[in-house]
A and B are shown apart, each in its own frame.
Chain A
Amino acid sequence: MAVRAGTLAETVAAAGRGIELRGLAKAYRAGDSVVQAVRGIDVSIEPRETVALLGPNGAGKSTTIDMILGLTLPDEGAVSVFGEKPSAVVAAGRIGAMLQTGSLLRDLTARELVEMMAALFPRPLDVDEVLHVSGVAAFADQLTQKLSGGQSQRVRFALALVPDPELLVLDEPTVGMDVEGRRAFWTTMRGYAAEGRTVLFATHYLEEADAYADRIVLMARGAVVADGPPTEIKAMVGSRTIRATLPLAPKNELERLPGVMRAEVHGDTVILVCSDSDQAIRALLARFPAARDIEIAGAGLEQAFLQLTGEGRQAAA
């Protein structure tokens, strides 16, 4: 049902030295209930690869990133970055990261903040260069609490660049940026990746992942739904969807129908995300003659993406 890069992962594991996530799982306690944020994922990222972690909110992207950065310990599984534990790589100043949450330290100018953080790393880049590259130079002498959302994001980007990292991790980097800012940001980022750095970024924009990543890892509800080159993911996401009314339909049987990648059962409504909708509709009617109110739609990118990642259920509700 999902394209998994199992063979690719094994090849990479042999080559080693990139990022290796093995059976990674993490749950959080929220009151009385336990939220399974990440449910045992396996991902390998090669050095110098630019990989997008794509998925809707709550897919487990940030938790996965926190585990890669050593900010959160996994309940199960293991993370290795460049063959080492995340903490060791962080301590060596080899990771630069842009976090999604948190505000900047107050009462310093943007330049002072970058200087302050640069002082913590063993081999920082020249601060003026970083300010220029990240586009902070224009407002470097303003206090951080006076900056707009987009400007703050640029300062965060500068903070991620200043260690001169081998691995750049960006969690939803363009949130709060306008269209122009986004374009400028990605142009800079691409230049950076071209210098031989490994880049991992999380996003919920399919276009960003498609345009700037070598590879997309699609996540939903804590699991990897698909992993492959953007063209492959786009082909999947660009698939057709069958909707039908079919009371008491067993989900696992629907998913086993030929041409069906994924099935959703929502009350009496059934949604089938198909790789081959012609084959799927024939099989559906043969197996479940009671199916009615049938619609076949060539889903738009965004909609199909939502359905593929399981959010279609909420959208349909």
Chain B
Amino acid sequence: MRRFVYIRCELLRTIRNRRYALAALGFPIVLYFLIAGPNKGEHDLGGSGLSAPLYYMVGLASFGAMNAMLSVAGRIATERTAGWNRQLRLTPLTARDYFRIKILTGYLTVLAALALLFLAGTTLGVRLGARDWLVMTGLILVGLVPFGALAVLLGHVITADAIGPAMGGLVALLAVLGGVWFPITGGALYDIGRALPSYWLVQASHVALGGQGWGRTGWLVVAGWTIVLGALARRAYRRDTARV
């Protein structure tokens, strides 16, 4: 119950930080209306039989979720630069709980970002069955676990000054290789993409387009990245807090 007080304060901070809230919540919505708005009436995008508002909503769902989760890195870097993690190390809060709370806050931000995006989708005429909404959202949330670990890792190895551009570049790269903007169907990029967690995040959102979800490869890739990034994040946290 008392952990709840701590998490409530974390959320308060998220909401009060306008720049952060705008970047994590506002940015995907603005992009969505910019891209999908003008093509609102397009019901057969590139001959795929998919409507433009649906296709872009789904694409931005994976992008927005990734963006919101990775923005946790910026918040950690800022706290670290301010020396706050030293203060936290003087409390009974364990490294594990610190991760958990940060990632939980990230997830709540992601849920808010997805809710806004789905709401925006429905205003442009997107209609999906309950099962599609749920499976898509559920898989996206699972697919974000390695991104949570990545955010904690990067928040500890990159300084607050550098984290903005670094994350911008990383999100763009992961998005392109993962096939957020346009599908990559063959060649070396396809093989690289399939080994990345962002590819499977995109596959998760494509459930709403009639996609197959993950299959065994998907689960293995997501689990593998979770283990590797989780271990690296833990190490970075420990090394970093030894002396700032």
CB < 8 Å: which of A92, A108, A120 contacts B93?
A120
Q: Does A1 contact B (CB under 8 A)?
A: no
Q: Chain B 216-234, CB within 8 Å of chain A: the 1/0 string?
A: 0000000000000000000
How long is the Cα–Cα vector from A92 to B91 in the complex, in angstroms?
Answer: 8
With a cutoff of 8 Å between Cβ atoms, the chain A residues found around residue B243 in the complex are 28, 66, 71-72
Which among B6, B9, B12 has the highest number of chain A CB atoms within 10 Å? Answer: B9
Q: Does B212 contact A (CB under 8 A)?
A: no
Q: Least Cβ distance of A129 to chain B in Å?
A: 17
Contacts of B2 in A (CB 8 A): 119-120
- A115 in contact with B9 given A72-B243, A122-B92 (CB within 8 Å): yes
Q: Is B164 an interface residue (CB 8 A)?
A: no
Please measure, in the bound complex, the distance between the C-alpha atom of A73 and the C-alpha atom of B93, giving whole angstroms: 19
Contact with B83, one of A97, A102, A106, A121 (Cβ below 8 angstroms)? A102
CB of A95 within 8 A of chain B? yes
**B12: which of A73, A93, A108 is its contact (CB, 8 Å)?**
A108
Shortest Cβ gap from A102 to chain B (Å): 2
Chain A residues lying within 8 Å of B90, measured Cβ to Cβ, are 69, 71, 90, 95-97, 99
With A105-B84, A107-B17, A108-B9 already in contact, the answer to whether A71 and B91 are too (CB < 8 A) is no
Q: Kindly identify which residue among B9, B16, B79, B244 contacts A116, using a CB–CB cutoff of 8 Å.
A: B9
A91 CB within 8 Å of chain B: yes
Within 8 A of B (CB), among A94-140: 95-97, 99, 101-108, 112-113, 115-122
Q: Which residues of B contact A (CB under 8 A)?
A: 2-6, 9, 12-13, 16-17, 78-79, 82-84, 86-87, 89-94, 241-244
- Identify B6's interface contact among A104, A119, A159, CB under 8 A: A119
28 contacts between A and B (CB under 8 A): A69-B89, A70-B89, A71-B86, A71-B242, A71-B243, A90-B90, A90-B91, A92-B92, A95-B90, A96-B90, A99-B83, A101-B83, A102-B82, A102-B84, A103-B82, A103-B84, A105-B84, A106-B78, A106-B82, A107-B16, A108-B12, A117-B87, A117-B91, A119-B6, A120-B91, A120-B93, A121-B91, A143-B16
